[in-house]
Chain A
C-alpha cells in the first residue's frame, strides 16, 4: 500500500483565496512526522510545515496550516490568501520513527494560482 497519497494531480485557485491540498498517509508506527514541501519550477525543495504524530495542535507557519486528522490519517495543507508565487508543485512526505530518517513522498499536487 502506498504510504503517502495525494489524490489531486492539479489544483487551481484564484489569487487571494484559500486552497486545501489533500494528503493521506499509512503507517503502523506510532511515532511519525508529516511534512509539506513546495517545489517551484526551479526544482529546489522548500520546507513549508511539519506535524508530529504526538502534536496536540495543528501546525501553522504564516499562511500555511496543516489540518491534521489523526484518526482519518490525513494531513491536508491549507494555504490562505493565495499568491501568484504559490504556483508550484507541492509534496506531502512522511518520516517514521523507525525509518532511520528516510522520507517517503507523495506524488505531488501542481497548484496554479490564477490572477
Chain B
C-alpha cells in the first residue's frame, strides 16, 4: 500500500529555535497534504491543508506565521514551527491523498513528536 513518511520521528529543541518537519509520499503523488496536531490522549486537530504549488489553507486559530507550511512538490510538504515554545510540544501528523473524493484514501505518516524545552 501507499506509504507516507515523516522526518524526524522525534525532535527535542530549545525554546526559541525553529524546527522543520518533512512529510513525503513515497510511491504516489499527493496533490493535497494535511497537517494535524495531537496532544496526549486527545483528538487530532487539523492545522492546515497544503496544496502543491499554492499557499496553505490554515484552520481558524492556527497562526500561519508560526506554523509555516510549504508544499514544494507533489511528494513533499514541510511544516516549520518557528520560534518554538514549550506549549508547541505535541505530536504532529501529516496525511496525504492523491485525490479529494470521499473514497480516496488518506494515508497517514507515522507522526513527529516535538518536545520544546
Q: Is the beta-carbon distance between A103 and B102 smaller than 8 angstroms?
A: no
Residue B67 interfacial (CB < 8 Å): no
Residue A100 interfacial (CB < 8 Å): yes
Interface contacts beyond A31-B102, A101-B106: sample of 4 additional A-B pairs, CB < 8 Å, sorted by A:
A32-B102, A45-B95, A45-B108, A103-B44
* Size category, A interface: 20 to 34
Interface residues as binary, B33-63 with A (CB distance below 8 Å gives 1, 0 otherwise): 0100000011111100100000000000000
- Give the number of residue pairs across the A-B interface with Cβ within 8 Å: 60
Residue B73 interfacial (CB < 8 Å): no
Q: Which residues of B contact A (CB under 8 A)?
A: 32, 34, 41-46, 49, 91, 93, 95, 97, 99-100, 102-106, 108, 110-111, 113
Q: Is the beta-carbon distance between A43 and B91 smaller than 8 angstroms?
A: yes
Q: Is the beta-carbon distance between B111 and A44 smaller than 8 angstroms?
A: yes
Q: What is the CA–CA distance of A39 and B71 in the complex, to the nearest angstrom? A: 26
Query: Can you list 14 contacts pairing A with B, beta carbon distance less than 8 Å?
Result: A33-B103, A43-B110, A43-B111, A44-B111, A45-B44, A50-B103, A52-B103, A101-B34, A101-B97, A101-B104, A103-B44, A103-B106, A104-B46, A106-B43
Q: Which residues of A contact B (CB under 8 A)?
A: 31-33, 37, 42-45, 47, 50, 52, 89, 91, 95, 97, 100-108, 110
Residues of A within 8 A of B110 (CB): 42-44
Q: What is the CA–CA distance of A33 and B105 in the complex, to the nearest angstrom? A: 11
Q: What is the CA–CA distance of A33 and B101 in the complex, to the nearest angstrom? A: 10
Q: What is the CA–CA distance of A86 and B19 in the complex, to the nearest angstrom? A: 34
Counting chain A CB atoms within 10 Å of each CB, the highest count among B44, B49, B110, B113 belongs to B44
| Known A-B contacts A91-B44, A106-B43; A100 and B111 likewise in contact (beta carbons under 8 Å) | no
Other-chain residue from B43, B49, B100 in contact with A91 (beta carbon distance below 8 A): B43
Q: Is the beta-carbon distance between B102 and A95 smaller than 8 angstroms?
A: yes
